Amino acid sequence: MAKIGNSELEVYGLNLGGNVFGWTADEAQSFAVLDAYVAAGGNFVDTADVYSAFAEGNSGGESETIIGNWLARRGRRDDVVIATKVGAWERHRGLSAANIREAAEDSLRRLRTDHIDLYYAHYDFPDDPLEETLAAFDELVRAGKVRYIAASNYKADRLAEALSISDREGFARYVALQPHYNLVERGFEEELAPLVAREGLSTLPYYGLAKGFLAGKYRSKDAAGDSPRAGGALSYLDERGERVLAALDAVADAHRVPVAAVSLAWLAAQPTVAAPIASARNLEQLEGILPAVGLKLSDEELKSLTDASS
């Protein structure tokens, strides 16, 4: 288990992404994945109010609804750390105080719970004053509706400003950052990583498998199939991407684990990373990522992967 920042949240080393629930996984498939994840020792589920508004026929809130139904059906609320987000959904767009209050109540209702363990600002909205946003989050924490707050998709200067405001005003403070970070997307390391380390936050990276590319699923332009993520994954299939896949294959063969597990293990080994986020729409995909937890790569293996992606 890993501790998130200076919070009391102790989480499994793999954060299960709920973005596929209600999109490429229906309720029955989602329940099966959640059951298997918890059975393996998992306790950390990531979602957002906007999931899965981008899917045909959806309007948003589907993922939270499925997770809420699962929590109610299984009676597992106290065993699971639930993270959700506010700001990206058109129905609750932005981070004004009024919007945060209303969105939180809606998420609580869909999740069928009385508290959210980790509540993210999904994106930074410069037109919404940070003081207002943080005061609204603080109000939720004081009311017991949210345990801790976090930021997603913030730039370094804005994250630093938000933390400074919380310190000055005595507001609840962000305990984690959720950035786009993986073996082929390493911009986080430039300005955000030093700030996160200095401020004592944890990193919970999304797109840990680069939309499936780092699972080794897309090795040719003909590998797209019917996957809605194929286009994004295949954008990494260039000379550098092929070099990364070759390095991943070598390490995966040495440990006799799936390529996806090695990709996530590299990410988990990076400074401040508590639990990479990865989703699974079925049990087969889940079996490909679970071995990442507890997989310890040698310094030489970590260097070979890092060098291949440089």
Residue count of the chain: 310
Point out which residues pair with 277 in neighbouring strands.
15
Which of 19, 302, 44 has its CA nearest to residue 183? 302
* Greatest distance between any 2 Cα atoms in the chain: 55
- Choose, from 12, 37, 51, 119, the residue flagged as catalytic: 51
Count of H-run helices and E-run strands, the chain: 11, 10
The string over 56-75, giving b where at least 16 C-beta atoms fall within 10 Å of a residue's C-beta and e elsewhere, is eeeebbbbbbbbbbbbeeee
CA 158 to CA 163: how far, in whole Å?
A: 9
Pairing of strands 15-17, 146-152: unpaired
CA 113 to CA 103: how far, in whole Å?
A: 14
Query: What is the Cβ-side half-sphere exposure of residue 210, based on CA atoms within 13 angstroms?
Result: 26
Sign of CA dihedral 179, 18, 208, 4: positive
Tell me whether residue 174 is one of the annotated catalytic residues: no
Contacts of 268 (CB under 8 A, 6+ apart): 13, 275, 276, 292
Contacts of 213 (CB under 8 A, 6+ apart): 184, 233, 234, 236, 237, 241
CA 84 to CA 116: how far, in whole Å?
A: 7
- Annotated catalytic residues are 51
